[in-house]
Structure 1
Amino acid sequence: MADEKGVPTTPDAKAASQDDSAHDNPSGTLELPDSWKYRRLTLFGYKFPWYASPSVQLVIVSFVCFMCPGMFNALNGMGGGGQLDNTANNRANTALYSTFAVVGFFAGTFTNKLGIRTALSFGGIGYSVYVASYLSYNHTKNLGFTTFAGALLGVCAGLLWCAQGAIMMSYPSEANKGRYISWFWMIFNLGAVIGSLIPLGQNIHAKGKSVVTDGTYVGFLVLTLIGAGLSWCLVDTKSVIRSDGSKVIVMKHPSWKSEIVGLWETFKTDPYIIALFPMFFASNWFYSYHFNEVNGAYFTTRTRALNGVCYYIFQIIGAYVFGFALDTKGVRRTTRAKGAWVALFALIMAIWGGGYKFQTTYDRAWAEDENSVKKDWTDPGFAGPFVLYMFYGFSDAAWQTCVYWFMGALTNNGRKLANFAGFYKGIQSAGAAITWRLDDIKIPYMNMFASNWALLAGSLVIALPVILWKVEDSVSLEKDIAFADTTIEEVAPKEAVIEAPHGHHQEKV
């Protein structure tokens, strides 16, 4: 459980949280509506956040992604979607990211109109159909079904990730955005860790080649269905109240016309977002290389499963390190943004530099030769590639955390951030669609490696002007609401009260 600042409820964290709350509201009181959504559970002397607080809502959406995209990542992390032949996985993921690229770009419009819960639930169903198609493929080899399931998931995932991004970036206060991103990424990747343990346990003795069993796919299917249902436990965005009494900035009564116009307004008011597009494009480019061309090509089945577990554990570590560093107290946000850019650039150069040396040791011809002996965890020389693969996971989490934080530092407006998240997932998916197709047409491994390294480093250089000149220490409320049809009174903190009026209750914070 996390407190309303996104910090775990350990004794030290509780004390820090209480200090933060006191800073948000020096009077120590907060007026909240008299509803079950704002009642706090006291356990072992600690009062947990109210249900409609940003932290509780973040935890819920994190577990939705734990069970849906988390299982998707565990499955794809096995290489080939758990199949010996990558064809079905490549075709499904090419279709997935092709539709995702189109839908994702406009997903902010649909999410703002349909609402968070509908978008997330619809997205979860797509993951269930995707997993079911692999279960079917184990018996029927129906390539058409897996390709259709991938295309459907692209539509569904576009909405799910847009809704998730809007929650993660707009619900927290400016001082806690890094922590919220970090906690989301940690819980989400914990799903992939647990998901990867399933095939590891079922293939623990399969030292040679084998496909993922039906039981693995059934387990993933059940979890994705639960995740889709969990989406309905969220409250409406307008009901969320932060610890300082402020609400999330949303547009009143959006229409399809206003949302489509709003998409254009985002480009008009924030044209600099285009400079981040290469970072968006690079953010999923490396997955086909990681999963199919390293893990799937070089290692045995059980070792692939072990690698998947450790890859996502290092994602959790990476999210923790970067997320909390981005919220360092006492350091100006502009300074933190520059430091994050430097750290990210150094990390990319170091890890992919090591990856170049490893990639010179094998090629596609060796990987696809049925007589080649794949690397097992019992073989000599396993440690180096294993550590490299774990740090590929670490750098992935660092990249995603920083990109989300950079976007969140540009505005606090939930409507605008939904559009930013839609741009991010749409452009990200366009890149992913290309790489899965490149793997399907059997591009040389070294060519794919080079494209990854160049794109990651180059996109950071292109994004640097935004980091230097557009990230501010704080975004004013007046600037944020200029984009939404609302007023300062509707989103600003209320005055602390001594006597709570009828229909409200007073809360100590």
Structure 2
Amino acid sequence: MAEFDAAPPNTRAGGNDDNLRVKEVGNPSHNADEFDMVAYQNEVPLWKRIHQHSLTQMFLMSIQAFCGPAMADAIAGLGGGGLATPQTSNIATSINYACLAITCLFGGPIVNRLGTKWALVLGAMSFPIRGASYYCNSKFGIQWFLIFGAFITGTGSGCWYVAESGTIMSIAPSGARGKYLALWIVARNLGQLIGGAINLSKNHQAGAKGGVTPDTYIAFLIIESLAFPFAWLISPLHNVVRSDGTKVRVAEKLSTKAEFKLIKVTMTSKLILLSALWAVWSFFYSGTWSTYLGTYFSTRARALSSLISPFFCIIGCFGLGFILDMKSLSQRRRAQLGLFTVLILNTGVYIWTIIMQTKFNKHSPGKIDWVDKLYPSAFLPYFFVQTTGPLSQSYMYWLLSSFATDAQANVRNGAAFRCLEAVGQAISYGMNTQIKTSPLIGFCVTFGLMAAAMGPMILLVNSTPNEIPADVLDKEEHERELEDHQNQQKPVGEKDEDVNFSVNRV
């Protein structure tokens, strides 16, 4: 087992395996090594230290995730976007994720040039368009706005997603990445809880048919608008101070041409190639399970489902976070244990769902309400997938950050992974626009994708370095600086003796 724990000889943290990390062009900034925590505390006002603290920044990112992506998930959690028929919503959502994928593909260079803060600000401006388009379609039947809004939100959200992934993977201290990521993923799912409460309060009457009330989307629109002011409060990465007293390792800015050249390097790196199928699969479930909810559940049952689904996610994500932060295990062992946990839980949920769907294909249940005896067994697979799905996403971002050499590498890797995630979502929702009888095909495809992703992921996880490369590089540079400083303090004769002594030893 000791040999299994040890990292392969060519994949040490910050080592010489160029396929496992993006090659750096230009010299890295040494701001992390030069940072003096004592001087910082003495010279910087308390309010500013609190603002620049990594936990504060993660809270600000989580609030934006709650206002933006979480509200989008809440709308999807209504089943077909809450519309009377899910097909139009699935078409719009598919277009949204197609645009998001394209933006994420080129998002790394864009965000690294703009800076994560300004990319977040620009992206947050597009969030309210989603709620507005659903309101107009529900109230006035304007379907073209739903489709056109999908183009705008897909592009804007893509810019925001790239900046978000680079930020959340960079600001967390190495010993608490699992818990920080759990906080972020829980905030995203709490949005669905709030959305479900809004929906249930307006659609709780028995016998309600069709879509949810138009006023429901007004509440979503208001919450989505709140992401914009919080995006302005984000501090640039080079100013963030982690809770362990370290700063984010930031490389020097590259030219736009050099950044675009790195797209190919990133997309063809071993890190992205081995995680590609996992990325496509990680959000693939959302389209099929949303269609499942819209097809088989009444309006108020869908509202109740979207309310209570995120509760177990909170426990699950923080539970996985504690596993991934266990100091008694090496980083590589934690990666293996996390992968095993995520795969086992997802497998159980998928098998259960396929069994339920097979029964529905034989005997259609009609529209299931929460007072029906069938409701618990039919709803629980959806309930648990709202936990196992986010677990797979939280785990993957933790794993990606385990290979990071600096903040810009996190942005590029995050952009590539987000691109592939969006491709999976676009395919999933696009596929479900054609499935008008049974979501069974979607469930089987999702299960098959997970099975196909297992092999490459095992290879990747078994090559996880035992320390984050960025941390190792910081330590090595700090040691060199200390050594240079000590040599400068020595008398000239003493330096010569050291050199002669070294030569004699050789």
TM-score higher than 0.5 here?
yes
Query: Contact 2:90 / 2:432 at 8 angstroms: preserved in 1?
Result: yes
In structure 2, the partner of 1:467 is: 461
Which of 401, 405, 416 lines up with 1:423 in the alignment? Answer: 416
Per-residue CA shift, 1:300-337, capped at 9, x if unaligned?
11111111122222322221111221111211111111
**Partner deviation per Cα, 1:19-64 (whole Å, 9 max, x = no partner):** xxxxxxxxx973316666x5169xxxxxxx7210111101001001
Query: Do the aligned partners of 2:101 and 2:418 also contact (CA within 8 Å) in 1?
Result: yes
Q: Deviations over 1:112-171 (max 9, x none)?
A: 111222211222222211110111112332221111111111111111111111111111
Separation of aligned partners in 2, 1:29 and 1:118 = 27
Partner of 1:380: 373
Matched position secondary structure for 2:38: strand
Matches within 5 A, 1:9-88: 30-32=38-40, 39=46, 50-88=50-88
Q: Does 1:302 align with 2:304?
A: no
Contact 2:192 2:307 in 1 (8 A): yes
Structure 1 window deviating more from structure 2 (255-264 vs 143-152): it is 255-264
The corresponding residue for 2:216 is 216
Seen in structure 2, the aligned counterparts of structure 1 residues 297 and 31 have a Cα distance that, compared at 3 Å, is: same
Aligned to 2:319: 321
In structure 2, the residue matched to 1:455 is 449
Q: Give deviations 1:81-116, integer Å, cap 9, x for gaps.
A: 110111320121111011111111221211111122
Q: Distance in 1 between matches of 2:86 and 2:272?
A: 35
Secondary structure of the corresponding residue to residue 329 of structure 1: coil
In structure 2, distance between residues paired with 1:155 and 1:452: 26
Q: Residues 249-308 of structure 1: CA distance to partner in whole angstroms, max 9, x if unpaired?
A: 22324431232133334357x43321100000111111111111x211111111111111
Report the counterpart of residue 130 of structure 1 in structure 2: 130
Take 1:161 and 1:480, find their aligned partners in 2: how far apart are those partners?
A: 27
Stretches of structure 2 lacking an aligned partner (at least 5 in a row): 1-35, 483-506
The residue type equivalent to 1:39 in the other structure is L
Distance in 1 between residues matched to 2:376 and 2:244, nearest whole Å: 49
Q: Match for residue 120 of structure 2? A: 120
Query: How far apart are the structure 2 equivalents of 1:185 and 1:422?
Result: 17
How far, CA to CA, are the matches of 2:37 and 2:229 in structure 1?
35
Q: CA deviation at 1:457?
A: 2.2
Structure 2 distance, partners of 1:144, 1:409, is 43
Distance 1:229-1:246 versus aligned 2 partners, 3 A rule: same
Match of 1:399 among 392, 397, 403: 392
CA radius of gyration, larger in: 2
Q: Deviations over 1:397-423 (max 9, x none)?
A: 211111111101112511011111111
Q: Secondary structure at the match of 1:474?
A: coil
Runs of 4+ in structure 1 displaced over 6 angstroms?
none
Helix, strand or coil at the partner of 1:32: helix
RMSD of aligned residue pairs (Cα, Å): 2.6
**AA aligned opposite 1:449:** F
Partner residue in 1 for 2:425: 432
Partner Cα separation in structure 2 for residue 262 and residue 246 of structure 1: 27
Residue identity (%) = 24
Alignment CA distance shift 1:300-1:258 (3 Å): same
Which structure has the highest helix share of the two? 2
Q: Secondary structure of 1:360's match?
A: helix
Match runs of 1:101-500 below 5 Å? 101-267=101-267, 270-292=269-291, 294-363=292-361, 366=364, 373-442=366-435, 444-469=438-463, 471-477=464-470, 488=477
- 2:173 and 2:244 in contact (8 A); partners too: no
The 3-state SS of whatever aligns with 2:346 is helix
What is the alpha-carbon distance in structure 1 between the residues aligned to residue 129 and residue 43 of structure 2?
A: 37
**Distance across 1 between alignment mates of 2:186 and 2:442:** 28
Q: CA deviation at 1:424?
A: 1.2
What amino acid sits opposite 1:337 in the alignment? A
Q: 1-side partners of 2:382 and 2:186: how far apart?
A: 18
Rounded Cα–Cα distance in structure 2 between residues aligned with 1:364 and 1:226 = 46
The alpha-carbon deviation at position 479 of structure 1 amounts to: 6.7
| 1:178/1:323 contact within 8 Å kept | yes
Q: Is the 8 A contact 2:66 2:187 kept in 1?
A: yes
CA distance in 1, matches of 2:204, 2:446: 32
Letter of the structure 2 residue corresponding to residue 290 of structure 1: W
Task: Give the direction of change, closer, same or farther, for the CA distance of 1:94–1:248 in structure 2 (3 Å limit).
Answer: same
C-alpha separation in 2, matches of 1:225 and 1:352 = 35
Distance 2:60 2:128 in 1: 19
Alpha-carbon distance change, 222 to 364 in structure 1, aligned in 2, over 3 angstroms: farther
Q: TM-score, normalization: structure 1? A: 0.82
Whole-angstrom distance in 1 between the partners of 2:363 and 2:288: 15
Aligned-partner Cα distance in 2 for 1:337–1:51: 31
Tell me the CA shift for residue 480 of structure 1. Answer: 5.4
Q: CA deviation at 1:488?
A: 4.3
Tell me, which stretches of 5 or more residues in structure 1 are unaligned? 1-27, 42-48, 367-371, 482-486, 494-509
- State the alpha-carbon separation in 1 of the partners of residues 263 and 247 from structure 2: 23
Correspondence for 2:502: none
Indicate if the aligned counterparts of 2:266 and 2:416 stay in contact, CA closer than 8 A.
Answer: no
AA aligned to 2:465 is E
- Whether the aligned pair in 2 keeps the contact of 1:170 and 1:412 (CA below 8 Å) is no
Partner SS, residue 50 of structure 1: helix
Contact kept, 8 Å, 1:411 with 1:480, in 2: the verdict is no
CA distance in 1: counterparts of 2:375 and 2:363, whole angstroms = 20
Cα distance change on mapping 1:265 and 1:156 into 2, 3 Å: same
Residues 68 and 127, structure 1, Cα contact 8 Å, conserved in 2: yes
**Is the Cα contact below 8 Å between 1:413 and 1:480 reproduced in 2?**
no
Per-residue Cα deviation, 1:435-481 (whole angstroms, up to 9, x for no partner): 11111122642211110111112212221101002x11103448758
Q: Is the 8 A contact 2:55 2:243 kept in 1?
A: no
